[in-house]
A and B are shown apart, each in its own frame.
Chain A
Amino acid sequence: MASEVSLSSAKTLDAAPEVEDALVARCRQGDPDAFAGLVSRYEGMVYGLASRLLGDPEEARDVAQEVFLQVFRALDRFEGRSRIKTWIYRIAVNQCRNRRRFWRRRVLAHARPIESMTAQEEARASSEHSLAEDPFASVARRERAARVQAALARLSFDHRAILLLRESDGLTGEEIAAALGIAEGTVKSRLARARDAFRLCLEREPGEETP
């Protein structure tokens, strides 16, 4: 299952709208297979975004579950003005934002930063990389990923969200606007600021003041 999900790249998610509509219609009729299909199609997208936004794989898993529960509870209210993918993104961002506010008040003794992923998780996460990858290259790639995650963690939530939606998940400006509930013009200006802030975070050493 995991290997299927790991291949859930943008290509898989960008299924024909009529296929999506049919899946949503079956979900509305209470078809459990359709529910499972919807989760399988989008769980990688939601979990990946939540992991990067929250920086904690355990939290991301909980959030992803909550996102799909909310999707199913609110499916009758989905009007189809945007694509189901964008709608799920919006729920996911809001859940992460709420979760972040909730947990910020607590010290999580069990919190596991995403940089400390086990070798197994990392292998699964990087299944698109060659299995015969040079061990040195693998270490370098992991260090680079940890550095990127650390830089992301130093950004504001809004900047982190827009960067991940645009650069990592490849959403268009229109899709980002729908997912974040902001105007397209705001997407452009916020994206420019977020890119600038991220560039500075990458250039600075960890511990230096956030731009």
Chain B
Amino acid sequence: MADIHADIEALKEFADALGRYRHAQREVAEQGDYQVAATRASLEDKASQWRSLLARRKAELADCQRAAAMDTEGAGHGGCHAEAAAVREAEERLDSVRRWQQLVEEGASAFLGPSSRFRSVLDVDLPRTEQHLLAIIGGLEAARGVRGARP
């Protein structure tokens, strides 16, 4: 048998630490997934709000333009510059939200690979590692027990 230079209690502490690591990192992974979902929902909500606002502002601009057209003498209507600017603002902000939605989708897609690999590490590899370490500890305890029994 190979020489054994191990403090079994230290290895047991490390095995326990691996178990805690697995659970805690799973929470980290879940928190990460939750934040991706929350940001997607938040951006979709913002896009929806800007779409509604854009529609309302376009209607206000159209009303203004109709009123301006009916003011044939051109004396009493101040123009529709403010309404047109409000429409442009809503269009720009909706475009910006859509661009960020696209960027977030690309980022989430790039994150998917490392995320699923890490999930596999936590769900499959790490439990095996813990089992392997416990088997080593069991072997060390058995070897120590045999040696201890020798005269």
Partners in one complex: no
